[in-house]
Amino acid sequence: MSSSEVLLDELFDAVVEGNVHKARRLAERAVNEGASAAEAFDKMTEAMRVVDKKYDRKEYFTVDVAAASTAMREALKALEPYMKVGPTDVAGKIVIGSLKGNIQGLGKDVVAGALRSAGFQVIDLGVNVTPETFVEAAVKEKADVIAVSVSVDETAPYLKAIVNILREKKLNEKVKTIIGGRAVNEEKRKQYGIDAYATDAWDCVKRVRELISQK
């Protein structure tokens, strides 16, 4: 096993454990010793899947998930310089955020990282983002797609406001929408008039490419 592979395995463990400083340091070392940013990102995504399963089995609590999410977020900061692409290579521009009432950014962070690694320019609005802010950011940034994370059931109806504002501004053909998260599915995509639904980060990359190709 090469030194970079060993470091990637250690990075996996650091994210699962929620060790923020160790995760960032290992991400930097891994790419410096031959691993690609995409390989490091894949390893961290695997780690977050383990964290998610531990949470579902009640082996982890909210604080553990938050720690792992922070560890991945910090490690991603170390990887970002290696993920950037030139203007001519940008696959498209995406505005992403967790919808109003959603303060969990874990899934959104993973998706944002996947989109960046796939060559998209990503503007991350953070959590608890209002429908108006999504559209304003899309207009300001001349974004191709608005990606919305929804993990709280009661907040899903806000999706309709995003669609309505885009229609009022006659932007619904120029700016496509995609949703993901525990509180949404294909049925809710149809219900609220959203263009696409993604089951996970990599499905989101695929769907976003399809949306942009349709424009």
Residues 58-88 have pLDDT tens digits of 998 878 887 888 898 889 888 888 865 444 4
Please determine, for residue 90, whether its predicted confidence score (pLDDT) is greater than 70. no
Looking at the structure, tell me whether residues 25 and 117 fall in a common domain: no
Domain that holds residue 15: 3-83
pLDDT of residue 107: 81
User: Which pLDDT value is given to residue 82?
Assistant: 80
45 alpha-carbon distance from chain centroid: 11
Q: Which two tokens stand for residue 193?
A: 């008039």
User: Any idea what the CATH number is for the domain that residue 51 is in?
Assistant: 1.10.1240.10
Domain boundary (83, 98, 128) is at 83
Give the whole-number percent of the chain exceeding pLDDT 90.
62
Average pLDDT, integer, range 80-103? 78
Average pLDDT over residues 136-151: 97
Domain boundary among 43, 64, 83: 83
For 107, the token pair is 């899934």
pTM of structure: 0.69
So what's the pLDDT on residue 87?
Answer: 42
Specify the higher pLDDT residue, 143 or 66: 143
Where does residue 171 rank: exposed (0-12), middle (13-18), buried (19+ CB within 10 A)?
middle
